[in-house]
Structure formats: C-alpha cells, structure tokens
Amino acid sequence: MEKQGKVIEKNQGGQLRIRRVERSSGEYPDRLRDLNRMPKELYVIGSLPRDDRPSAAIVGARLCSPYGRAQAYRYARELAAAGVQIISGMARGVDGCAHRGALENGGDTWAVLGCGVDICYPRENRDLYQDIPRRGGLISEYPPGRPPLGSQFPARNRIISALADLVLVVEARERSGSLITVDFALEQGKTVYAVPGRAGDPLSVGCNRLIAQGAGIALSPRELLEEWGITPDKNPLGEEKNNFGLARTGDMVYSCLSLVPKHLSCIAREAGVTPAEAGTRLLEFVLQGLAQETARNYFVRK
C-alpha cells in the first residue's frame, strides 16, 4: 500500500503528477465524508477543493445550445470571480463551458472524471485537461489507466454534487445525465437551481421541470452569490476595457468578426490568440448580444 497522498506517477518533466489521497488523509475533502458510498481513495492531479470556501457544481447538456453554452460560461465566470469554487465533469458542452468560464477569470475549478486521471476524455477538451490543474485539479475515484466506461459516469456524479454546496443545471433534456447529479444532490441535502428555458424546447424540458418541482430559479449569478452572502465586484475580471466595454483580447477577437459566419479556428488565427482564448471571448460576446453562433463554432457579428 502506498502512503497517504503518495505520488504514484510523474509527468515527463519529472514533476509531481498523480497523487493518491486515502480517506484517512487530512487532505481528503470533508464534503465527501458523509457519502453513503464514500470513495476509499481519490486520484488527483493538482489540488483538491478547500472545505472552507463555497463551491458550486455546474452541469448540463453535452449537446447544448449557444444559449446554454453562454449561460454556463457566464455563471461560472461570475461565481469564480467572487471566490466560489467551480465543480464539473469536463464533458463537452455545459461542463466545458463552466470550466472555461472559471479559468478565464483566474478562478478555481475542479473536474471529476469518469475514468483514470491520466486519461483525457473527451479528447477535444485537451486544453482544459492541461489548464485545470493549474487553478484546481482533476479528480477520480478510479485508478490510473481505467478507460471511460459508460457505467462509471453516473457514479462520479455523486462526487460532483457532494463537493458542491449547491448544484446549478444549465439546459437538460428530459432524461439528461445531469438529472442524475440532481438526484444525488437532493439525497445529500444540497440546494438545486436550474436556468429556465423556452417552453417546448427539448433542451429546456429538464430544467423547466426541475423548477416546477421546486428547484430554485437561476436568473442571475448575483442571486446565487446571495446564498453565501457574497457581494460581487462591479468588474470581476479587473481588466482594462475600452469604450465598448471589451478587454484587450476581446478587441482583437471582435475585430475579426464579420456579417459572414466564420469558424472559431479562423477567428483565433486572425486574432493571434489560441482557440481556447477566442472561444472564451466569443461566448462572452454571445452573452452580451454582440455576436451570434449561427452553427457549431461559427460566429457572426451582430
């Protein structure tokens, strides 16, 4: 048996990489100790969430709409700006947007994986896999090398909800996997919020039904912050902005938009920024009504 918190694998540079944290360790999160099926051990790249800081889980549809992506990014960005730890699952869609929103603001975020922490899944989130440990961590109850099996993802959802003080659902179909997280959250006595959507929209059925059943209605990040008695800064990013309210990176990205749809990779190349940076700014512009996503990863100026 390895000792508590012992490094069991190193990266190519020889730096500390994967750690195993056992239940008997003082580093083991207190929020997990009340679980009926408390993980015997956790495998971690980076750090673990702090017990003395508020945390919110943001979950939702993988195949979400531009509205859902923008809302996930918005809530994570503003909550993280106020010091809230953001928990999600690094899946495509809402999860990825939540992590990016937190990271964009220099906030802290953790991804609970349904596979070994040495495996990046899905591969399209390679940038998050690399960036999250710098501001938080990757967590799994499964040992390194465990592939992403479908049966493991519902089980990991109980850890996502347990690590959070409240769970926010952003877009969910009638049988969305994110509703499994809600079930665990309710069993654990957590507060559940849902972002309302359009009546009749398949992506909004889950959230609207949660609200009808008594979940809190998420109308703004500020309302969620009131759960902890937190007053957000007027300018949470603290960035220098121009007369249009855009940060410098945003200036470059926005200047590359036109009335003709343009792909994210093309916008990033023209702006001289990474696709992740361009994607973050574009989501912000969509939220502000300055841009529109006409198809997946294609944007126009409004």
Please give the angle made by the CA atoms of 80, 82 and 88, to the nearest 5 degrees.
Answer: 25
Q: How far apart are CA 171 and CA 223, in angstroms?
A: 18
**Which tens digit of pLDDT belongs to each residue from 170-226?**
999 988 889 999 999 999 999 999 999 988 899 999 999 999 999 999 999 999 998
Q: Domain check: are 124 and 256 in the same one?
A: no
Mean pLDDT of 227-233: 80
Chain-centre distance for alpha carbon 128? 10
Would you say residue 91 lies in a domain?
Answer: yes
The residue among 26 and 259 whose pLDDT is bigger is 26
**pLDDT recorded at residue 12:** 45
Q: Is residue 234 part of a domain?
A: no
CA distance linking residue 231 with residue 226, whole number of Å: 7
Is residue 19 scored above 50 in pLDDT? yes
The answer to whether residues 289 and 302 touch, using CB atoms and an 8 Å cutoff, is yes
pLDDT, one tens digit per residue, over 150-171 is 999 999 999 999 999 999 999 9
Distance of alpha carbon 91 from alpha carbon 63, whole angstroms:
10
pTM: 0.77
Residue 279 belongs to a domain with what CATH number? 1.10.10.10
DSSP symbols for 128-189: HHHHHHHHEEEEESSPTT----TTHHHHHHHHHHHT-SEEEEE---TT-THHHHHHHHHHTT
Q: Please indicate, yes or no, whether residues 168 and 219 belong to a single structural domain of this protein.
A: yes
Cβ(121)–Cβ(115) under 8 Å? yes
Given 193, 228, 263, the domain boundary residue is 228
Sign of the C-alpha dihedral computed for residues 104, 215, 153 and 138 taken in this order: positive
Q: Are residues 141 and 263 in the same domain?
A: no
Please check whether residue 115 is in contact with residue 148, taking contact to mean a CB–CB distance below 8 angstroms. yes
Domain that holds residue 12: 7-228
Is 159 in the same domain as 261? no
C-alpha to C-alpha distance for 105 and 122, rounded to whole angstroms: 23
191 shares a domain with 286: no
Evaluate whether residue 139 is within a structural domain: yes
Same domain, 152 and 268: no
**pLDDT for residue 260 is more than 90:** no
| Side chain identity at residue 224, one-letter code | L
Q: Which of 208, 184, 180, 183 is nearest to 194 (CA)?
A: 208
Per-residue pLDDT, 288: 80
**Same domain for 28 and 133:** yes
Examine the domain organization and report whether 71 and 157 are in the same domain.
yes
Cβ atoms 36, 162 nearer than 8 A: no
Dump pLDDT digits (tens) for 79-106.
Answer: 999 999 999 999 999 999 999 999 987 8
Determine the pLDDT at residue 66.
Answer: 86
Same domain, 212 and 68: yes
Confidence of residue 250 (pLDDT cuts 50, 70, 90): low
pLDDT at 5: 54
Number of domains in the chain: 2
> Is 2 a domain residue?
no
Same-domain check for residues 135 and 25: yes
**Token couple for 50:** 């702090």
* Domain of residue 189, CATH code: 3.40.50.450
Determine, yes or no, domain membership for 237: no
Residues 209 and 175 in one domain: yes
Are 41 and 13 contained in the same domain? yes
**CB atoms inside a 10 Å sphere around CB 296:** 10
What is the side-by-side strand order in the sheet with 298-301? 262-263, 298-301, 291-295
Q: Indicate the Cα dihedral angle 232, 237, 240, 241, nearest 10°.
A: -80
Of all residues in the chain, what percent carry a pLDDT higher than 90? 64
